Amino acid sequence: MNILTPNSPTAELQALDAAHHMHPFTHGAALREKGARIITRAEGVWLNDSDGNRILDAMAGLWCVNVGYGREELAEAAARQMRELPFYNTFFQTSHVPAINLAARLAELAPDDLNHVFFANSGSEANDTNLRMVRAYWHVKGQPERTHIIARWNGYHGSGVGSGSMGGMKSIHSQGGLPIPGIHHIDQPHWYLEGGQMTPEEFGLARAQQLEEKILEIGADKVAAFIAEPLQGAGGVIVPPATYWPEIQRIVDKYGILLIADEVITGFGRTGQWFGCQTMDVRPDIMTVAKGLSSGYQPIGASIVSDEVARVIDGVEFNHGYTYSGHPVACAVALENLRLLDEEGIVDRARTHVAPYLKQRFESLADHPLVGEVKIIGLMGSLALTPDKPSRASFAAEAGTAGLITRERCFANNLIMRHVYDRMIISPPLVISHEEIDTLVERARLSLDEAHAELI
């Protein structure tokens, strides 16, 4: 077989890709017709493709490359670890240095008494771990009927059977019997789309109170946990009204239900603090992390759990784990990534220097005729596209979805933004410079202008 390289012709790369590679979250036939965009190299916030384009990655890959591309230290950490101990497992009373160090460092960074770490290889896996762990927790505590999990429509927790069930994406549920039994969903705190005539504050409270209603409907003694992202990412960067999280916290406290904060996107500086629950001022019993944990340089995820959850689970053999739980190379890279985020002040600088400038520049897009709302927290932002600002209307689906058209214009202008229906999203590397932010906003405005001309 002829092994291709980053310098091979695009057409050849696309043809072989189309012949054998099944892509995640992709319409295969449509991709084959058009050919994939082939990314070959990356540095800082910039991607290169096989046609020689230099593209500003305003999504940090899939919300994950927090330290930016091209960090030699991470490549070195991987190579060093591969030479020393490329693999050993952490099953059956065994451990190794990278897993020990990373677990201890995560316990140091995580808030309150979240001091214990169960490793996985992705966010989906870590959420499957959480689903099993909260059920095991109540079982060990002598309340085995507490198995029900409450989650939210339009939340995203991964695409495995458990994580995809807890997520509230109907497009995932519709392809094969999800959600599995025992998973329930309440509505999301998405004021712009669903708030009607309520104020954001009234709406935030009403949506949080759905949790209490759902608990009472299921039976408080049957509910194991509530899972939510501190702010929804894949659902469209939905920032909940200020009244939402305090009410959720009151309710989970009142009924003694475990709170799982899915920090897969919001962890490691994305919202300006180390964790999104610090930005939103909530106290989870379990946090899911992945993505920014290694800045995407290695696949790794984890559940970080409280002293109490760990104490209870420690009482039994927890029959769960992955061959690569705490993979030494992934742990070594993650540890080095956390060192960079901390010692280079990347998280602090993101909060004090990057986020304020990005907010100011990104919010300047509010005057664009297509933009009905701009939301941004830390380095996570979204624009709602609308044909009519005062009514917060959505574009008709048959318009080809305004978001898709705008995303395609961004691609053509060498800017990666993502869209969720009519929302355009950014989540750039935390190391983006002010000048690069200017470029991001200029290219976004140009793309919006072009989409506007096409749509209206």
The three-class DSSP label of residue 209 is helix
* Gap between the Cα atoms of 110 and 102, Å rounded: 12
Beta-bridge partners for 288 = 262, 303
Query: In angstroms, what is the minimal distance from the CB of 36 to ligand PLP?
Result: 19
Cα dihedral angle (105, 110, 114, 115), rounded to 10 degrees?
A: 10
Q: Does 157 bind ligand PLP (CB under 6 A)?
A: yes
Binding mask 62-101 for ligand PLP (x = CB under 6 A): x---------------------------------------
**Taking a C-beta distance cutoff of 8 angstroms, is the pair 223, 181 a contact?**
no
Which of 14, 50, 66, 124 lies at the binding interface for ligand PLP (CB under 6 A)? 124
Query: In angstroms, what is the minimal distance from the CB of 339 to ligand PLP?
Result: 22
Q: Does 123 bind ligand PLP (CB under 6 A)?
A: yes
- Site residues for ligand PLP, 232-251, by CB under 6 A, read 233-234
Q: Which tokens in the block code for residue 426?
A: 């950014």
Stretch that binds ligand PLP, among 74-82, 134-142, 258-266, 382-390 (CB under 6 A): 258-266
Q: With respect to ligand PLP, which residue has the nearer C-beta, 125 or 436?
A: 125
Query: In angstroms, what is the minimal distance from the CB of 290 to ligand PLP?
Result: 5
* Phi, psi of 183, deg, nearest 5: -115, 130
Q: With respect to ligand PLP, which residue has the nearer C-beta, 24 or 196?
A: 24
Nearest CA among 217, 296, 214 for reference residue 248: 214
What single-letter amino acid sits at 444? A
E strands within 37-91? 39-43, 46-49, 54-57
The three-class DSSP label of residue 314 is coil
**Taking a C-beta distance cutoff of 8 angstroms, is the pair 68, 44 a contact?**
yes
- Site residues for ligand PLP, 275-294, by CB under 6 A, read 290
Query: In angstroms, what is the minimal distance from the CB of 264 to ligand PLP?
Result: 3
Buried b (16+ CB within 10 A) or exposed e, 116-145: bbbbbbbbbbbbbbbbbbbbbbbbbeeeee
Q: Does 225 bind ligand PLP (CB under 6 A)?
A: no
Q: Does 382 bind ligand PLP (CB under 6 A)?
A: no
Q: With respect to ligand PLP, which residue has the nearer C-beta, 148 or 152?
A: 152
Query: In angstroms, what is the minimal distance from the CB of 233 to ligand PLP?
Result: 5
Stretch that binds ligand PLP, among 143-151, 154-162, 304-312, 327-335 (CB under 6 A): 154-162
Query: In angstroms, what is the minimal distance from the CB of 62 to ligand PLP?
Result: 6
Query: In angstroms, what is the minimal distance from the CB of 173 to ligand PLP?
Result: 16
Which of 44, 61, 158, 179 lies at the binding interface for ligand PLP (CB under 6 A)? 158
Listing from the earlier edge strand, what are the strands of the sheet with 258-262? Answer: 114-120, 301-306, 286-289, 258-262, 223-228, 148-152, 183-186
Which residues form the interface with ligand PLP (CB under 6 A)? 62, 122-124, 127, 156-158, 229, 233-234, 262, 264-265, 290, 301
